[in-house]
Amino acid sequence: MSCPRSARDQVKVPVDVAPEARETYIDNYMAATRETGRLMLFACDQKVEHLNGDFYGEGIDPADLDPEHLFKIGSQGVCGVLAGQRGLIARYAADYPEINYLVKMNSKTNLVKTAQDDPYSPQLHDLEAVLAMREAGVNVVGLGYTLYLGSEYEATMMAEAGQLIAEAHAAGLIVVLWIYPRGKAVTDEKAPALIAGAAGVALCLGADFVKVNPPKASDEATSAENLKIAATAAGRTGLVCAGGSTVDAETFLTQLHDQIHIGGACGNATGRNIHQRSLDEAVRLTKAISAITLADYEVADALAVFNGEKDFAL
């Protein structure tokens, strides 16, 4: 799967974008993808999803306890969008107006486990609350929504997501769906067929990008090779992979390179692997990730960026 490269007239605008919002949609798409057609999403929504466990503790830099750490990284690093809840963005955006923001429209904590109840992440507010922030000068380019495919609440979340995408597109905003197969009906969340199915659901709901977990390797194929099936199933919805828990930089960058060049991914969505580091190291990692995602660097060259031996800027 090839990603569209950058001229405004190459952006495939969905027909549910209102004619008067067409140029706004293209502006937002170009800003989010840094004019490459690929998405480098800095995921900062875990303060609800994982509570404070991702921000304080063994192996996590002390700077990560302060929420402003996220915005310093987003400002000083190279990212496409910073994704977070509306309230989080509202508290800091005035001091970081240069960041492209993606407002996460729903969230839930990890306290209630699947064994107790299937997951449901309700929408926290309506689109008007986000559009009001945009009118106030916040650089909101898109929305995000998490959908748990296979949950007994799947139908409710699909209906919410579908309506949200229609309204967002009408207003010229892009939408990224987080889709994770999860619930009592799901025995293997990372089965390649399920990941490909999630990608197809995102396309049918109208998402511009879908964030999925990398599929597991099988006897016949590597994880990246199985990802190619999902990327193809996603059609004109760009597929990006979740970054997962923190690993060493070389391993992470190698996986990312394979996801794009073998798996056909159109970018990445990374949170913990970035923000659990010191500010300097986190900024360098955003540059290394973006070097691969946005500029097709090889792993060795991106690693040199992470190590401070080279710089990367757009």
CA distance 37 to 275: 24
Residue 217 DSSP code: P
CA distance 306 to 314: 16
The β-bridge relationship of strands 81-85 and 39-43 is: parallel
* Active-site choice (180, 228, 287, 297): 180
* Active-site choice (211, 228, 287, 297): 211
Name the residue among 122, 244, 120 with its Cα closest to residue 183.
Answer: 120
Name the residue among 219, 216, 246 with its Cα closest to residue 230.
Answer: 216
Name the residue among 8, 65, 108 with its Cα closest to residue 278.
Answer: 65
180 classed as catalytic:
yes
25 classed as catalytic:
no
Contacts of 86 by beta carbon, 8 Å cutoff, 6+ apart: 103, 104, 105, 124, 125, 129, 130, 133
CA distance 213 to 198: 10
CA distance 103 to 145: 9
Residue 207 DSSP code: -
Token pair, residue 146, equals: 């998490």
CA distance 39 to 80: 6
So which residues are the catalytic ones?
Answer: 180, 211
